[in-house]
Amino acid sequence: MAKTSETVLHVAGLDAGYGHVKVIRGGAIDVSAGEIVGLVGRNGAGKTTFLAALCGLIPDVSGQITMQGRELVNLPSHKRVESGMGIVPSGGRLFKSLTVEENLTIGTPQYSEADLAPVLKLFPELEKLRLRYAGKLSGGERQMVAIGRALMLRPRLLLLDEPSEGLAPIVVLRLVQAIKALRAQGVAMLVAEQNIKFTDLVCDSWFSIDKGMIASLAHRPCAPAPQTAIA
């Protein structure tokens, strides 16, 4: 069991954007082992850009991104994956012309049934979809495959971008269940969301993001009433 005080991800002074347009200024965030951190903000606040900058999906990034003592900011995406980072992008971004199984195993050159087992245990729904093309999945199924695809790489930190977006409430609860199961296994998570009910259900601490500025929140961003209503 990992010590909760151990920092998995340390971000400081992060600037990121597209060309001359800076979207994120001086972004700073810390995630400890086994902790779920929420990053809440409205549409267009810079959540996706921030996560994309962390995992190397956008090129114009400067600052400090440290994972377990390794500086990542100048490394290509696949090196960041090697050091334990996994991303579940908004909408899943699955490879549409590949099957579910091909999507899950895309990053693992050699795999056996045993490698797939933990993912299929977490999402038994995927078992019967293995040979289906990813372009033909529902929103919830896509999200499960996207999470599974990231898990196949055995991440220590999972970045989730709007995981609840566009999903039916019952599917969202299914996702909450899965995320909590993953935390129990010691996977740390950074969840970018505009649905604060969702972050309320799963997160241990919160950051807010607005116009590219990130600030730490001492309390959960919404009153506890709706949370008890859902739970």
Partner 1 sequence: MNWQLFSAQVLAGTANGALYFLVASGLTLLWGALGVVNLAHGSFFMLSAFAGALCIQTWGPEIGLIVALVIVPLAAALFACTLEMTLFRPVYKSAMWGQLLVSFGLVLALNNIARLVFGTQAISVAPPKMLSGFVEFGGLRLASYQLGVLVVTALVALFLWRLLTRSRTGRLIRAAVDDPQMLGAVGVDVQRLRTMVMGIAALLAGIAGVIAVPRGAINLGLDVQIIVIAFAVIVIGGLGAVWGSLAAALVIGIAEAVSTMFLDQGGEVVIFAVMVIVLLFRPTGFRTIAGRD
Q: Which is nearer to partner 1, 91 or 221 (CB)?
A: 91
For partner 1, which is the closer residue by CB, 46 or 89?
A: 89
Half-sphere exposure of 49 (CA within 13 A, CB side): 26
What is the smallest separation between the CB atom of 102 and partner 1, expressed in angstroms? 6
Neighbouring residues of 34: CB distance < 8 A, sequence distance ≥ 6: 1, 2, 4, 183, 186, 187, 188
Which of 15, 25, 28, 57 touches partner 1 (CB under 8 A)? Answer: 57
* Candidate segments 9-17, 92-100, 165-173, 220-228, binder of partner 1 by CB under 8 A: 92-100
Report the b/e string of 41-70 with b at 16+ CB within 10 A: beeebbbbbbbbbbbbbbeebebebbbeee
Element (H, E) at 202: helix 196-202
Q: Which is nearer to partner 1, 63 or 107 (by Cβ)? A: 107
Q: Which of 149, 182, 188, 202 binds partner 1 (CB under 8 A)?
A: 149
Contact residues for partner 1 (CB under 8 A)?
55-57, 59, 76-78, 81-82, 87, 89, 93, 95-98, 102, 106-109, 135, 149-150, 153
